[in-house]
Structure 1
């Protein structure tokens, strides 16, 4: 693909923001102990415009990020070539253990995973729902993708 075509299909910053806000699954790659990629799919929400998800404190991705915070995220969509859209984010994974942040992110991601109505991030959380969610979140942390570089493509533009 020539550089002119690459520029033509690149998303603008507002398009990237809208695409990430409309999606909810992300491929997350961290670096394993032996240098190999560790790749998983996670449900996410946006926290201050950045990809954020919860995961078990003892998960492989957390162990990897504590050793080396390098992380890549891929959000993509489309089936046919001319429908393909995506955003790759390259940067660092920041681990957050704050229970308030964990509850905010966990409420959105947990609702989505359970097929429940998804609350707005930061909206007041029903106390009964929060009480039910707390035990599930107790062993979890939040990972926030701190992007240093982003690439994007939208073949609808071609």
Structure 2
């Protein structure tokens, strides 16, 4: 077995890793072809897909309207032998229906505020959600690594 295969996570491990994190690096494509890279809070929907919300007029939204391809990087670890991560390639599907946008927003905000009851989060979600859209990422390719397996 080569080293690349040795450090790859299984599908279940990837799913658990994605469920345990809150932030990702999101790359979209600017009009001039350069990458637009931002940190985003995210959640998983009921099917285990990455979802996030953002302002309808944000650069990432404009980029995704033109070209829905994304790269998402989720990683952890500071030292080489502790690095773990997932790079997920896919297409971001825009969500405009208000109830669905608010569902995505609530999922994301829950992750940002663990232990806070939904009743306390809903006013913020409803207020800020008026200017937001949601996105759900359909995976096309997943690459993972867990350097703890190298020891």
- Which residue pairs with 1:106 in the alignment? 105
How far residue 91 of structure 1 moved from its aligned partner, in angstroms, is: 1.4
What is the TM-score normalised by the length of structure 2?
A: 0.91
How far residue 117 of structure 1 moved from its aligned partner, in angstroms, is: 2.2
Distance 1:6 1:73, change over 3 A: same
Corresponding pairs, count: 149
Structure 2 residue matching 1:89: 3-state secondary structure = strand
Distance 1:88 1:118, change over 3 A: farther
Q: Which consecutive unaligned segments of at least 5 residues does structure 2 have?
A: none
Structure 2 residue matching 1:19: 3-state secondary structure = helix
* Separation in 2, partners of 1:129, 1:78: 30
- Which residue pairs with 1:141 in the alignment? 133
* Separation in 2, partners of 1:139, 1:17: 30
Q: Which consecutive unaligned segments of at least 5 residues does structure 1 have?
A: 120-124
How far residue 118 of structure 1 moved from its aligned partner, in angstroms, is: 5.4
Distance 1:79 1:91, change over 3 A: same
- Which residue pairs with 1:51 in the alignment? 50
Distance 1:17 1:153, change over 3 A: same
What is the TM-score normalised by the length of structure 1?
A: 0.88
